[in-house]
Structure 1
Amino acid sequence: MKIKLNSIIVEDQDRALKFYTEVLGFKKKHDIPLGEYRWITLVSPEGPDDIELVLEPNANPAAKTYQQALFAQGIPLTAFEVTDLKAEFARLKEHQVVFTKEPTAAGPVMIAVLSDTCGNLIQLYQPLL
Protein backbone atom coordinates (compact mmCIF):
# COMPACT_ATOMS: atom_id res chain seq x y z
CA MET A 1 0.00 0.00 0.00
CA LYS A 2 1.27 3.47 -0.85
CA ILE A 3 0.04 7.04 -0.90
CA LYS A 4 -0.89 7.99 -4.47
CA LEU A 5 -3.45 10.81 -4.13
CA ASN A 6 -4.01 13.50 -1.52
CA SER A 7 -7.08 15.72 -1.88
CA ILE A 8 -7.39 19.42 -1.20
CA ILE A 9 -10.99 20.64 -0.95
CA VAL A 10 -11.33 23.89 -2.90
CA GLU A 11 -14.09 26.47 -3.40
CA ASP A 12 -13.20 27.11 -7.03
CA GLN A 13 -11.19 24.68 -9.17
CA ASP A 14 -10.03 27.34 -11.67
CA ARG A 15 -8.80 29.69 -8.95
CA ALA A 16 -7.16 26.77 -7.12
CA LEU A 17 -5.39 25.56 -10.27
CA LYS A 18 -4.02 29.05 -10.85
CA PHE A 19 -2.86 29.48 -7.23
CA TYR A 20 -1.31 26.03 -6.83
CA THR A 21 0.54 26.19 -10.17
CA GLU A 22 1.38 29.87 -10.72
CA VAL A 23 2.01 30.82 -7.09
CA LEU A 24 3.04 27.66 -5.23
CA GLY A 25 4.78 26.13 -8.25
CA PHE A 26 3.12 22.72 -8.60
CA LYS A 27 2.78 21.24 -12.10
CA LYS A 28 -0.54 20.16 -13.63
CA LYS A 29 -0.61 16.42 -14.37
CA HIS A 30 -4.30 15.79 -15.20
CA ASP A 31 -7.21 18.09 -16.03
CA ILE A 32 -10.14 15.93 -17.15
CA PRO A 33 -13.69 17.30 -17.55
CA LEU A 34 -16.25 15.37 -15.47
CA GLY A 35 -19.56 17.11 -16.00
CA GLU A 36 -19.83 20.22 -13.87
CA TYR A 37 -16.39 19.64 -12.28
CA ARG A 38 -12.96 18.37 -13.34
CA TRP A 39 -10.44 15.78 -12.20
CA ILE A 40 -7.40 18.00 -11.61
CA THR A 41 -4.18 16.59 -10.22
CA LEU A 42 -0.88 18.30 -9.56
CA VAL A 43 2.62 17.06 -8.87
CA SER A 44 5.59 18.67 -7.20
CA PRO A 45 8.52 19.53 -9.46
CA GLU A 46 10.72 18.53 -6.49
CA GLY A 47 9.03 15.26 -5.55
CA PRO A 48 8.14 11.92 -7.05
CA ASP A 49 5.85 12.14 -10.07
CA ASP A 50 3.61 9.37 -8.73
CA ILE A 51 2.27 11.32 -5.73
CA GLU A 52 -0.53 13.63 -6.86
CA LEU A 53 -2.47 16.44 -5.20
CA VAL A 54 -6.15 16.42 -6.22
CA LEU A 55 -8.06 19.72 -6.36
CA GLU A 56 -11.48 18.50 -5.17
CA PRO A 57 -14.53 20.77 -5.43
CA ASN A 58 -16.27 21.42 -2.10
CA ALA A 59 -19.69 20.77 -3.68
CA ASN A 60 -20.54 18.15 -1.07
CA PRO A 61 -22.13 19.95 1.93
CA ALA A 62 -20.12 17.81 4.37
CA ALA A 63 -16.86 18.74 2.65
CA LYS A 64 -17.77 22.43 2.66
CA THR A 65 -18.72 22.35 6.36
CA TYR A 66 -15.44 20.56 7.22
CA GLN A 67 -13.40 23.03 5.17
CA GLN A 68 -15.09 26.06 6.75
CA ALA A 69 -14.73 24.68 10.28
CA LEU A 70 -10.99 24.06 9.86
CA PHE A 71 -10.47 27.54 8.42
CA ALA A 72 -12.50 29.22 11.18
CA GLN A 73 -10.42 27.44 13.82
CA GLY A 74 -7.14 28.35 12.10
CA ILE A 75 -6.27 24.71 11.39
CA PRO A 76 -4.31 23.96 8.20
CA LEU A 77 -5.87 21.38 5.88
CA THR A 78 -2.48 19.96 4.96
CA ALA A 79 1.24 20.75 5.06
CA PHE A 80 3.98 21.03 2.46
CA GLU A 81 7.69 20.70 3.22
CA VAL A 82 10.14 23.31 1.97
CA THR A 83 13.93 23.44 2.21
CA ASP A 84 14.21 27.15 3.08
CA LEU A 85 11.07 28.50 4.75
CA LYS A 86 12.30 32.09 5.09
CA ALA A 87 13.12 32.28 1.37
CA GLU A 88 9.79 30.66 0.42
CA PHE A 89 7.94 33.05 2.73
CA ALA A 90 9.63 36.04 1.06
CA ARG A 91 8.89 34.67 -2.44
CA LEU A 92 5.23 34.07 -1.64
CA LYS A 93 4.82 37.50 0.01
CA GLU A 94 5.97 39.00 -3.33
CA HIS A 95 2.99 37.15 -4.89
CA GLN A 96 0.66 38.82 -2.35
CA VAL A 97 0.04 35.53 -0.49
CA VAL A 98 -1.67 36.12 2.86
CA PHE A 99 -0.06 34.39 5.83
CA THR A 100 -1.88 33.79 9.11
CA LYS A 101 1.38 32.69 10.78
CA GLU A 102 4.79 33.99 9.81
CA PRO A 103 7.84 31.67 10.03
CA THR A 104 8.02 30.43 13.61
CA ALA A 105 10.18 27.82 15.32
CA ALA A 106 8.12 24.86 16.56
CA GLY A 107 10.37 22.22 18.07
CA PRO A 108 12.31 20.39 15.33
CA VAL A 109 10.67 22.42 12.52
CA MET A 110 9.98 25.97 11.46
CA ILE A 111 6.39 26.54 10.31
CA ALA A 112 4.29 29.18 8.55
CA VAL A 113 0.61 29.13 7.57
CA LEU A 114 -0.89 30.67 4.44
CA SER A 115 -4.34 31.08 2.92
CA ASP A 116 -4.69 29.37 -0.47
CA THR A 117 -7.45 31.77 -1.68
CA CYS A 118 -9.74 28.73 -2.05
CA GLY A 119 -10.98 28.29 1.51
CA ASN A 120 -7.99 26.56 3.11
CA LEU A 121 -5.08 27.25 5.36
CA ILE A 122 -1.90 25.45 4.29
CA GLN A 123 1.07 24.93 6.58
CA LEU A 124 4.58 25.14 5.20
CA TYR A 125 7.32 23.56 7.27
CA GLN A 126 11.08 23.22 7.20
CA PRO A 127 12.81 20.51 9.23
CA LEU A 128 15.55 22.06 11.34
CA LEU A 129 17.49 18.90 12.08
Structure 2
Amino acid sequence: MKIILTKVFVDDPERALKFYTETLGFVKKNDVSAEGYRWLTVVSPDDRNGTELLLELNDNPVVQAYQEGIAEQGIPAASFGVEDVRAEYERLKAQGVEFMVEPTDLLDQVTIAVFDDTCGNLIQIQTLQK
Protein backbone atom coordinates (compact mmCIF):
# COMPACT_ATOMS: atom_id res chain seq x y z
CA MET A 1 0.00 0.00 0.00
CA LYS A 2 1.22 3.51 -0.75
CA ILE A 3 -0.11 7.03 -0.57
CA ILE A 4 -1.14 8.21 -4.02
CA LEU A 5 -3.11 11.36 -3.15
CA THR A 6 -3.34 13.81 -0.31
CA LYS A 7 -5.00 17.21 -0.16
CA VAL A 8 -4.94 20.69 1.18
CA PHE A 9 -8.08 22.78 1.26
CA VAL A 10 -7.73 26.15 -0.44
CA ASP A 11 -9.92 29.23 -0.56
CA ASP A 12 -8.97 30.08 -4.16
CA PRO A 13 -7.87 27.27 -6.52
CA GLU A 14 -6.36 29.65 -9.10
CA ARG A 15 -4.26 31.47 -6.50
CA ALA A 16 -3.30 28.10 -4.99
CA LEU A 17 -2.23 26.73 -8.37
CA LYS A 18 -0.09 29.80 -9.00
CA PHE A 19 1.51 29.62 -5.54
CA TYR A 20 2.14 25.88 -5.58
CA THR A 21 3.59 25.90 -9.11
CA GLU A 22 5.27 29.28 -9.56
CA THR A 23 6.45 29.83 -5.99
CA LEU A 24 6.97 26.34 -4.58
CA GLY A 25 7.92 24.69 -7.86
CA PHE A 26 5.36 21.89 -8.11
CA VAL A 27 4.00 20.90 -11.53
CA LYS A 28 0.31 20.77 -12.48
CA LYS A 29 -0.73 17.15 -13.03
CA ASN A 30 -4.54 17.22 -13.42
CA ASP A 31 -7.06 19.98 -13.96
CA VAL A 32 -10.50 18.52 -14.66
CA SER A 33 -13.82 20.30 -14.16
CA ALA A 34 -17.21 18.60 -14.08
CA GLU A 35 -20.57 19.69 -12.71
CA GLY A 36 -19.17 22.53 -10.61
CA TYR A 37 -16.29 20.50 -9.17
CA ARG A 38 -12.61 20.91 -10.05
CA TRP A 39 -10.04 18.13 -9.67
CA LEU A 40 -6.79 20.11 -9.51
CA THR A 41 -3.59 18.33 -8.54
CA VAL A 42 0.11 19.11 -8.47
CA VAL A 43 3.13 16.85 -8.14
CA SER A 44 6.83 17.17 -7.49
CA PRO A 45 8.82 17.90 -10.64
CA ASP A 46 11.23 15.20 -9.45
CA ASP A 47 8.50 12.52 -9.34
CA ARG A 48 5.76 13.32 -11.84
CA ASN A 49 4.13 9.92 -11.24
CA GLY A 50 4.42 10.22 -7.46
CA THR A 51 1.99 11.34 -4.79
CA GLU A 52 -0.42 13.99 -6.01
CA LEU A 53 -1.47 16.97 -3.92
CA LEU A 54 -5.13 17.87 -4.49
CA LEU A 55 -5.85 21.60 -4.18
CA GLU A 56 -9.45 21.24 -3.03
CA LEU A 57 -11.81 24.18 -2.66
CA ASN A 58 -12.82 24.76 0.95
CA ASP A 59 -16.47 25.49 0.15
CA ASN A 60 -17.82 23.32 2.97
CA PRO A 61 -18.43 25.08 6.35
CA VAL A 62 -16.98 22.09 8.24
CA VAL A 63 -13.82 22.25 6.15
CA GLN A 64 -13.57 26.01 6.67
CA ALA A 65 -13.84 25.61 10.45
CA TYR A 66 -11.19 22.85 10.42
CA GLN A 67 -8.84 24.89 8.23
CA GLU A 68 -9.22 28.03 10.34
CA GLY A 69 -8.87 26.07 13.59
CA ILE A 70 -5.61 24.33 12.75
CA ALA A 71 -4.12 27.51 11.28
CA GLU A 72 -5.02 29.48 14.44
CA GLN A 73 -3.28 26.80 16.52
CA GLY A 74 -0.19 26.92 14.31
CA ILE A 75 -0.66 23.38 13.00
CA PRO A 76 0.61 22.83 9.45
CA ALA A 77 -1.88 21.35 7.00
CA ALA A 78 0.94 19.52 5.16
CA SER A 79 4.65 18.87 5.40
CA PHE A 80 7.02 18.76 2.44
CA GLY A 81 10.54 17.39 2.41
CA VAL A 82 13.33 19.57 1.03
CA GLU A 83 17.07 19.01 0.61
CA ASP A 84 18.03 22.02 2.75
CA VAL A 85 15.45 23.90 4.83
CA ARG A 86 17.67 26.93 5.30
CA ALA A 87 18.32 27.30 1.56
CA GLU A 88 14.63 26.80 0.74
CA TYR A 89 13.70 29.32 3.43
CA GLU A 90 15.98 31.92 1.82
CA ARG A 91 14.66 31.16 -1.69
CA LEU A 92 11.01 31.43 -0.62
CA LYS A 93 11.56 34.46 1.61
CA ALA A 94 13.13 36.26 -1.38
CA GLN A 95 9.88 35.59 -3.26
CA GLY A 96 7.83 37.21 -0.50
CA VAL A 97 6.64 34.07 1.29
CA GLU A 98 5.65 34.81 4.89
CA PHE A 99 7.16 32.44 7.45
CA MET A 100 5.59 31.80 10.84
CA VAL A 101 8.52 29.63 11.99
CA GLU A 102 12.05 30.30 10.76
CA PRO A 103 14.40 27.32 10.28
CA THR A 104 14.53 25.47 13.57
CA ASP A 105 16.44 22.34 14.59
CA LEU A 106 14.36 19.88 16.61
CA LEU A 107 15.91 17.19 18.82
CA ASP A 108 19.04 17.13 16.63
CA GLN A 109 17.03 15.08 14.11
CA VAL A 110 15.05 17.41 11.86
CA THR A 111 15.11 21.02 10.70
CA ILE A 112 11.74 22.63 10.04
CA ALA A 113 10.26 25.94 8.92
CA VAL A 114 6.58 26.88 8.56
CA PHE A 115 5.04 29.32 6.09
CA ASP A 116 1.65 30.66 4.97
CA ASP A 117 0.56 29.31 1.57
CA THR A 118 -1.70 32.38 0.94
CA CYS A 119 -4.70 30.03 0.58
CA GLY A 120 -5.61 29.41 4.21
CA ASN A 121 -2.91 26.92 5.25
CA LEU A 122 0.30 26.71 7.14
CA ILE A 123 2.80 24.46 5.38
CA GLN A 124 5.88 22.93 6.99
CA ILE A 125 9.08 22.16 5.14
CA GLN A 126 11.56 19.79 6.72
CA THR A 127 14.92 18.14 6.28
CA LEU A 128 16.08 15.14 8.26
CA GLN A 129 19.53 15.79 9.68
CA LYS A 130 22.24 13.34 8.74
The alignment's TM-score, normalised by the length of structure 2, stands at: 0.95
**How far does residue 51 in structure 1 lie from its aligned partner after superposition?**
1.2
Q: Which residue of 1 aligns with 2:126?
A: 125
Equivalences for residues 1-129 of structure 1 within 5 A? 1-47=1-47, 49-107=49-107, 108-129=109-130
Contact 2:44 2:50 survives alignment (8 Å)? no
Aligned pairs, number: 129
Q: Hey, what's the Cα distance between the residues in 2 that align with 1:35 and 1:117?
A: 27
Q: Hey, what's the Cα distance between the residues in 2 that align with 1:90 and 1:71?
A: 23
For residue 96 of structure 2, give the secondary structure of its aligned residue in structure 1.
coil
Q: Which runs of 5+ in 1 are unaligned?
A: none
**How far does residue 77 in structure 1 lie from its aligned partner after superposition?**
0.6
Dislocated runs of 4+, deviation >4 Å: none
Q: Which runs of 5+ in 2 are unaligned?
A: none
Measured on the aligned residues, the alpha-carbon RMSD in Å equals: 1.1
For residue 17 of structure 2, give the secondary structure of its aligned residue in structure 1.
helix
**How far does residue 38 in structure 1 lie from its aligned partner after superposition?**
1.2
Q: Hey, what's the Cα distance between the residues in 2 that align with 1:16 and 1:90?
A: 21
